Chains A and B, each alone.
Chain A
């Protein structure tokens, strides 16, 4: 059974720092991996999607990597800003096109 783990559960850093959020999964047979952002009381915004055949994806200050063989993905945020404060969720898609979710990393960027 696929399990997804996100570390750390919470992170607080000063504005301007570069940071890395980690996601690990137990079964490498995934269709893709997505990183989402969720603001308090709101829905989810898709940040990056990495297909199982890809190694990384970039969007602006965000870079996500995927190492399927080791069951790991990282989300790198460059030059963090207070507006980046949110919960970041990692999810892997299985062969039934269902997403298996991590518990999320709550990120606080201090001005």
Chain B
């Protein structure tokens, strides 16, 4: 299994600013992902965080808005840039672990943009 922590757990930010969310896994994992969950909605995949190379973004998400870093096999960051109220969501980090490719999730970061 994998235990995933995220920082911060929540934040209230002003429009136009940026926030970086950190994700730490307690073991080395091959794949890490970033999701967004808007109020009352299911999860939407933002991107796959690749170790040592650029992240792979899903349709509708771009690197300039959501830059991602993954410097090693246990850590990743997601930055939400130039925020607007529409970015208010829960942002979740996840990782694939084990031979069964079970996906584990962090507790999420609740972001409110005013």
- Grouping DSSP codes into helix (H, G, I), strand (E, B) and loop, the B interface class, with mixed when no group exceeds half, is strand
Residues of A within 8 A of B (CB): 31-32, 34, 36, 41-46, 49, 51, 89, 91, 93, 97-99, 101-104
Complex alpha-carbon distance, A19 and B43, angstroms: 24
- Grouping DSSP codes into helix (H, G, I), strand (E, B) and loop, the A interface class, with mixed when no group exceeds half, is strand
Assess whether A102 is in contact with B103, with CB atoms less than 8 Å apart.
Answer: no
Query: Given A41-B110, A42-B108 in contact, is the A97-B101 Cβ separation under 8 Å?
Result: yes
Query: Given A89-B42, A101-B43 in contact, is the A46-B104 Cβ separation under 8 Å?
Result: yes
Residues of B within 8 A of A (CB): 31, 33, 41-43, 45, 48, 90, 92, 94, 96, 100-108, 110
Assess whether A49 is in contact with B102, with CB atoms less than 8 Å apart.
Answer: yes
> Which of B42, B102, B106, B107 is within 8 Å of A101, CB to CB?
B42
Give me 16 other A-B pairs in contact (C-beta within 8 A), A46-B102, A49-B102, A93-B103 excluded.
A31-B101, A32-B101, A32-B102, A34-B103, A42-B107, A42-B108, A43-B107, A44-B92, A46-B104, A89-B43, A91-B103, A93-B101, A97-B96, A99-B43, A99-B45, A99-B103
Complex alpha-carbon distance, A45 and B106, angstroms: 9
Assess whether B103 is in contact with A103, with CB atoms less than 8 Å apart.
Answer: no
The 15 sampled A-B contact pairs (Cβ below 8 Å) are A32-B100, A32-B101, A34-B103, A41-B90, A42-B107, A43-B107, A44-B43, A44-B92, A49-B102, A91-B103, A93-B101, A98-B33, A98-B45, A99-B103, A103-B41
Complex alpha-carbon distance, A91 and B92, angstroms: 15
Give every chain A residue within 8 A of B103 (Cβ-Cβ). 34, 46, 91, 93, 99
Closest to B109 in A: A43
Complex alpha-carbon distance, A18 and B105, angstroms: 28
